[in-house]
Amino acid sequence: MSRSEFDLCVVGGGSAGLVVAAGGAALGAKVALVERHALGGDCLYYGCVPSKALLYSAKAAYTRHEAATAGIDSPSPAIALGKAMERVASVIRAIEPHDSPERFRSMGVEVIFGEGRFIDPARFSIDGRELTARRFVLATGSRPAVPPIEGLQQSPYLTNETVFDLREPVPRLLVLGAGPIGVELAQAFGRLGSAVTIVDQAAQVLPHEDADMAGIIQSRLTGEGVEFHLNRSVSRVEGAAGMIRVQLQHQGESETWLEGTHLLIAVGRKPNLENLGLEAAGVVVEDGRLKTDEHLRTSNRSIYACGDVVGPYLFTHTAEHQAGVVLKNALFHWPAKVESRVVPWCTFTDPELARVGLSETEARERAIRYEAYAFPFADIDRAVTDGAIQGRAKIITGPDGKILGAAIAGANAGELIHEYALALARNLKASDLTGLIHVYPTLAQINRKVAEQRQKQKLTPVARRWIQRLFGLRGERRA
């Protein structure tokens, strides 16, 4: 058998593929990186980077608008969406060199642009060239899912791949989808002057979160003027640029129409698996995603996969984690396993909503014995000084106090959740956090405060009387 040309051939230049390619080259492997469009993928051009840049501009506008609450007189800002979007583009350009072909070529990676496909289990063809490798890695990412709604394909609509190209004003934005992408962009556009309406067939925003936590986000957006039509589906779309109408349906109610100037589709993601020659490669697709084992190996033992094409979590940080697992297994036969228990995430609205581990809803659905404890930001001194009192932290523990999950809806939740991610990874109990000194005054004190709730609830009147008797304490005896 002839020797393979490469040690690794990575198909897809998004977050997962770039980590595999860079890591493989650093470890001494000969690496080919195949990409159809531009290195950087969804995260750089259509996802994390532009959305957070837009949210920053939106928060700046909102902060100035709300300056009076801080005792500062300030006129309402004059908002030009085009300027905000130009800043988004400048942020992308600033980060772009980190993912540039030149940088990866300087690492020793052969970067190949074009569309290719497997022609058999061991060969990948691109523009007439046949690539062979000891191991292939599929990291082709995902794209916006577009639902089969009557009239949608004949009407103009936006997705996360096109919304950041906008430069004209958006007087009234209709958002189909109340997941993370939908609510983040809804709040951003609302703060930048658009009238925003969100439609979703789910009963709540962020349907994968507990209702009490998601309700904090919905309440904030409602207070900022965002309208919601939940438990509704869209049966028809019609219109042209500047005038879009969507028809809503709900069981037992008459159909209604909503009007807007722009329509944003944010109902989920679809993995990019078409035209890759997966059948020729002997790679099985199951439920719309690549079938992989716990080592991220596909049904072809020489082909691995990572990122959105695997799931189930479509986050850049999980793509990077999976890329590390693939590197260890594909190059060194480690075997490393993908982490599925401790995966933190965050929706970057204001306030943010972050979670790790089990939610209360999941614990209940799985018939897991649990206890839930919560503490409000309103009782954290730093939150009061910063005017960030909206929200709460909640932990889920087992009967023995072992942490099963945590959720935080509040300021800087995405930063604060990592303390609980570490606690969950190390199988700690709530009591392990109550003894940890936290800087005062910081928002992070809420992590200790919520853990203390378990101790306080366990201190029943009976337990208190026993302590008094045992140590001869003379305080007031409580019933």
| Predicted confidence band of residue 252 (pLDDT cuts 50, 70, 90) | low
147 Rama class: left (phi>0) / alpha (psi -120 to 50) / beta? beta
Peptide bond into 121 cis (omega under 30): no
Strand order in the sheet with 172-176: 227-230, 195-200, 172-176, 262-265
Q: Residue 230: enclosing H or E segment and its boundaries?
A: strand 227-230
Q: Where are the alpha helices (DSSP H) in 66-100?
A: 81-95
Mean pLDDT (the chain, rounded): 94
Go through the domains of the chain in sequence order and give each one's CATH number: 6-39+100-143+270-332 (3.50.50.60), 152-267 (3.50.50.60), 345-461 (3.30.390.30)
Q: Are 467 and 455 in contact (CB under 8 A)?
A: no
d(CA 186, CA 197): 8
pLDDT exceeds cutoff 90 at 461: no
Q: Which amino acid is at 225?
A: G
Q: Contact at 8 Å (CB) between 145 and 235?
A: no
Strands 392-397 and 371-376: antiparallel
- Give tens-digit pLDDT for 343-384: 999 999 999 999 999 999 999 999 999 999 999 999 999 999
Q: Give pLDDT tens digits for 33-58.
A: 999 999 999 999 999 999 999 999 99
Per the listing, tokens 């008459």 go with 254
Q: Region 111-118: what's the mean pLDDT?
A: 96
Q: Which run of H or of E encompasses 198? A: strand 195-200
Instruction: Band the pLDDT of 455: cuts 50, 70, 90.
Output: confident
Cβ–Cβ under 8 Å, residues 157 and 265: yes
